[in-house]
Amino acid sequence: MCETTSPKEIFEQTFEINRRLADVALNGGGLRAIAQKLSDALGTPVIIEDAGWERITVRMPYRITSIISCETLVQQLTGAFVSYYKRAGFLNELIKGRRVIWEGIPQKGVKARVIAPIFVDKELQGYISVLSLEGLPNELQIMACEQAAIVAALEISKERAVEQTRFRMERDVLQEVVSNSLESPQLVMKQLSMLGWDLDRTVVVLSFELDSLENTMFSGSALEPEKLDTLKQNIVRRVKTVVMQTDAKAVVSFLSDSDLTVIANPATEAVPDKEDIQRFISEIRRVLDELVPDVEVRIGVGGISRKVDDIAKSYSQARQALRVGAVMMSKEEVHFYEDLGLYKLLFELADTKELQEFCLENIAPLLEYDRKNKADFLRTLERYLETNGSVRETAEDLFIHRNTLNYRLRRIEEILGQDLSDSETRLKLLLALRIRRITQAKGGALGVE
């Protein structure tokens, strides 16, 4: 066919195919419909993949579906070929925006593959491929594939705009729900319904703190808000894909640049227990480790919520678990509100006059000594009390000799006028130190600091 078709005819056919593809995109057909239209027009299979070579869709022309199935084709064209593309220099060409032609595996029915990159705002978003089952691709297949990449880019831009709108709407609605100050409850309930969210059921709120996400992922380059939004949308999309395998009604949204909030029931219908929640968190962590491997992640888990009015309380508990956990249990990654115990009470009361005075009465002299002498006796005392008075463990943790530690402990007793061998004294001092840590976590400071 290629030999008898004039350049004018090829141009006209390409133009007609491009017009049909554009019509599909304008009518909201999506990438799958674009691939199907191109496949039918050329009479050959078409594949669309994302930038990581994960298949988005594989479409076959209706007239040959009985000859070779999509499943067979997918098996023949797996990600294993990416290493070959790299060795052949194809990846570099694609990244530069150039289409490539790969001579396939004849014995498996694929003679060649035209691959055109899909770019949106100068960023590679994926690839569209036209497969040749009969020989090397003709000029029409090559030109049509290149044009289809442009139409696919337009479709992706449109989908991205829709996704951005929903992303912002979900964030705004969820912020209203967790703020516990619903100015218009009826409007919020209507918005929840529009989003397809059901929060009048048994769920738990998980708050993932992605520490310094923007600084870690964009260090060394100027931060562009659009790029950060794109990254967050990708995180939400991927996390949703995972959590909805357990709970199809799960809600996933960023409430700030570092606060990824997940509202779901990890146990499906039953009330989730710790094991359910930990397993659920592990699945989400795997996604985050893949997408943002260098970002430190901490998780706060709120209490059980059974109706939409409880969501704000569960969210507040999750955030409180994060703040207190970061101070009191810094080595832990997951902090359950129900495990805070005494610290829940201290967190609520730490900034009261009575507890501040209690704290100062017990450790003010040591704070003053450290400040004047640039010493760190307070940290020594805290670690000693945290290890229940174990000299060996404290010395190892502080990387000092036991004799040095014993000297410091004697000096601390002299400065405070307290006997550290007394259990009541140790409890009193530990509470004072905890109050100080919580005060700092809430952004405050003691009078002598």
Kindly state the DSSP code that residue 62 receives in the 8-state scheme: G
Indicate the CATH number of 348-441 among 3.90.550.10, 1.10.10.2840, 3.40.50.620, 3.30.565.10.
1.10.10.2840
CA dist., res. 45 & res. 78, Å (int): 15
More confident site: 29 or 422 = 422
Place 2 in a pLDDT band, splitting at 50, 70 and 90.
Answer: very low
Residue 161: predicted pLDDT: 84
Residue 25: predicted pLDDT: 80
The pTM is what? 0.68
In the predicted structure, residue 65 carries a pLDDT above the cut 60: no
In the predicted structure, residue 391 carries a pLDDT above the cut 60: yes
Location of structure tokens 């703040």: 323
Place 61 in a pLDDT band, splitting at 50, 70 and 90.
Answer: confident
Give all strands (DSSP E) within 284-326, no chain letters: 297-305
CA dist., res. 86 & res. 411, Å (int): 66
Place 77 in a pLDDT band, splitting at 50, 70 and 90.
Answer: low
For the chain, give the percent of residues with pLDDT over 90: 46
Report CA 8 to chain centroid distance, whole Å: 50
Residue 250: predicted pLDDT: 94
CA dist., res. 226 & res. 434, Å (int): 41
CA dist., res. 225 & res. 209, Å (int): 19
Q: Where in the chain is the domain with CATH 3.30.450.40?
A: 7-161
In the predicted structure, residue 342 carries a pLDDT above the cut 70: yes
CA dist., res. 65 & res. 173, Å (int): 45
CA dist., res. 157 & res. 189, Å (int): 30
Each residue's pLDDT tens digit, 197-243? 999 999 999 999 998 887 766 665 555 667 788 889 889 999 999 99
Give all strands (DSSP E) within 337-444, no chain letters: none
Which segment of 102-106, 252-256, 308-312 scores lowest on mean pLDDT? 102-106
Q: Which residues contact 335 (CB under 8 A, 6 or more apart)?
A: 298, 299, 300, 301, 321, 322, 324, 325, 326, 329
Place 327 in a pLDDT band, splitting at 50, 70 and 90.
Answer: confident
Each residue's pLDDT tens digit, 187-198? 878 888 888 899
CA dist., res. 21 & res. 39, Å (int): 11
3-state secondary structure of 238: helix
Q: Where in the chain is the domain with CATH 3.30.70.270?
A: 198-340
Residue 446: predicted pLDDT: 64
Location of structure tokens 């076959």: 60
The pLDDT of 123-149, averaged and rounded, is 89
Residue 1: predicted pLDDT: 41
For the chain, give the percent of residues with pLDDT over 70: 88
> For the domain 198-340, what is the CATH superfamily, name and number?
Reverse transcriptase/Diguanylate cyclase domain (3.30.70.270)
Residue 417: predicted pLDDT: 95
Place 444 in a pLDDT band, splitting at 50, 70 and 90.
Answer: low
Which residues, in sequence order, are bridge partners of residue 359?
none
Location of structure tokens 């056919």: 13
In the predicted structure, residue 78 carries a pLDDT above the cut 60: no
In the predicted structure, residue 16 carries a pLDDT above the cut 80: yes
Report the interhelical angle of 30-42 vs 139-178 (nearest 10°): 170
Residue 148: predicted pLDDT: 93
Which tokens go with 154?
A: 């337009």
Indicate the CATH number of 7-161 among 3.30.1330.30, 3.40.50.300, 3.40.718.10, 3.30.450.40.
3.30.450.40
CA dist., res. 131 & res. 148, Å (int): 14
CA dist., res. 48 & res. 70, Å (int): 13
In the predicted structure, residue 448 carries a pLDDT above the cut 70: no
Which segment of 136-140, 402-406, 415-419 scores lowest on mean pLDDT? 136-140
Using an 8 Å Cβ cutoff, are 352 and 316 in contact?
A: no
The pLDDT of 293-301, averaged and rounded, is 93
More confident site: 210 or 344 = 210
Which tokens go with 181?
A: 């100050």
Residue 263: predicted pLDDT: 96
Question: Would you say the C-alpha torsion 246, 251, 252, 256 has a positive or negative sign?
Answer: negative
> What kind and span of H or E run contains 102?
strand 100-105
The pLDDT of 109-116, averaged and rounded, is 83
Q: Where in the chain is the domain with CATH 1.10.10.2840?
A: 348-441
In Å, what is the CA distance from 385 to each residue of 390, 414, 426? 8, 17, 7
Each residue's pLDDT tens digit, 163-182? 888 888 899 899 989 987 66
